């Protein structure tokens, strides 16, 4: 099993209680690290161009987008992920993965997991303000991954019927220290928290979790089982 990972590298300026530092980021960095720690081969398609500032405080994250990357074209992605069954798309802004790119992957038989943070942020620089997205933004996606604020902005609530209304066959929502929940066409589930603590700097934890979740789903785990294993894996790397 080889998993494709596609996204922009990020140049982040991160402020926590410990101070401010510049560090690389983005889905390619954190998802690759997550999969390598699991021993899962991956193909990474990346480019630069995205930059942001993040401020972690009191359990929340404030973010400002300072530079937006170029969209990934269908032919570029399809050529690179040949041989992968699953592809993780880690968007930073709404323009990273145009509908034709996702449609091209789905038409070619790939199972696509889209991190919905980008489509919830919009496509322009400035303070991150989460918002709903049009249905065509996720057409062809097998799994839509959101965190709690993104899900509430996109669906209006965490109610199962609201999450199903987004249009993806599988929606999974990470809840930080409260675990995760999700819906499929057949039902809904909730994964209990691991109870092991709070990450001092959670930057990249979502990408870490998503990569582990996809690896587990690709291996045949149920959504709830995959979510629990992904949380334990993230704890291992962040605590």
H or E element at residue 25: strand 19-25
Q: Which residues pair with 69 in a beta bridge?
A: none
The Cα 134–Cα 109 span in angstroms is 23
The Cα 99–Cα 74 span in angstroms is 9
H or E element at residue 5: strand 3-16
Task: Check which CATH number belongs to the domain holding 127 and give it.
Answer: 3.40.1190.20
Residue 31 backbone zone (phi > 0: left; psi -120 to 50: alpha; other: beta): alpha
pLDDT in tens, 193-221: 998 878 888 889 999 999 999 999 999 99
Indicate the pLDDT class of residue 60, thresholds 50, 70 and 90.
confident
> Is 80 exceeded by the pLDDT of residue 192?
yes
Q: Kindly report the pTM of this predicted structure.
A: 0.95
- Comparing CA positions, the residue from 52, 203, 218, 221 lying closest to residue 234 is 203
Per the structure, the complete domain to which residue 104 belongs is given by 3-238
Q: Which two tokens stand for residue 185?
A: 């066409």
> Is 80 exceeded by the pLDDT of residue 136?
yes
DSSP string of 179-224? Answer: -EEEEESS-EEEE----S---SS-TTHHHHHHHHHHHHHHTT--HH
| CB half-sphere exposure, 60, CA atoms < 13 A | 6
**Domain tally, the chain:** 1
Angle at 133 between CA 132 and CA 136, to 5 degrees: 155
Give the SS3 label for residue 165.
Answer: coil
Q: Which residue has the tokens 């409260």?
A: 178
* pLDDT value of position 67: 94
pLDDT in tens, 40-51: 999 999 999 999
Instruction: Please provide the average confidence, as pLDDT, over all residues in the chain.
Output: 95
pLDDT in tens, 75-94: 999 999 999 999 999 999 99
pLDDT in tens, 98-116: 999 999 999 999 999 999 9
Cα separations (Å) of 150 from 110, 145, 172, 187, 219? Answer: 25, 9, 11, 21, 27
């Amino acid at each position: 099993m080889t998993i494709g990972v596609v996204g922009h590298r990020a140049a982040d300026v991160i402020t926590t209680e410990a101070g401010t530092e510049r560090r690389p980021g983005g889905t390619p960095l954190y998802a690759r690290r997550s999969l390598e720690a699991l021993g899962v081969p991956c193909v990474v398609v990346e480019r630069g161009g995205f930059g942001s500032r993040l401020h972690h405080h009191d359990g929340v994250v404030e973010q400002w987008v300072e530079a937006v990357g170029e969209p990934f074209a269908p032919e570029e992605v399809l050529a690179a992920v040949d041989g992968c069954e699953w592809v993780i798309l880690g968007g930073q802004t709404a323009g990273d993965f145009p509908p034709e790119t996702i449609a091209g992957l789905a038409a070619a038989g790939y199972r696509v997991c889209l991190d919905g943070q980008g489509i919830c942020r919009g496509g322009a620089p400035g303070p991150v303000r989460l918002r709903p997205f049009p249905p065509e933004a996720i057409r062809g996606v097998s799994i839509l991954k959101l965190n709690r604020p993104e899900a509430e902005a996109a669906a209006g609530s965490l109610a199962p019927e609201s999450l199903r209304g987004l249009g993806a066959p599988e929606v999974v929502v990470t809840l930080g220290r409260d675990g995760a929940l999700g819906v499929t066409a057949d039902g809904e589930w909730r994964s209990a928290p691991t109870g092991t603590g709070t990450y001092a700097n959670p930057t990249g934890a979502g990408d870490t979790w998503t990569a582990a979740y996809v690896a587990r789903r690709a291996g045949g785990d149920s959504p709830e089982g995959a979510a629990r294993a992904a949380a334990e894996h993230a704890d291992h790397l962040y605590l």
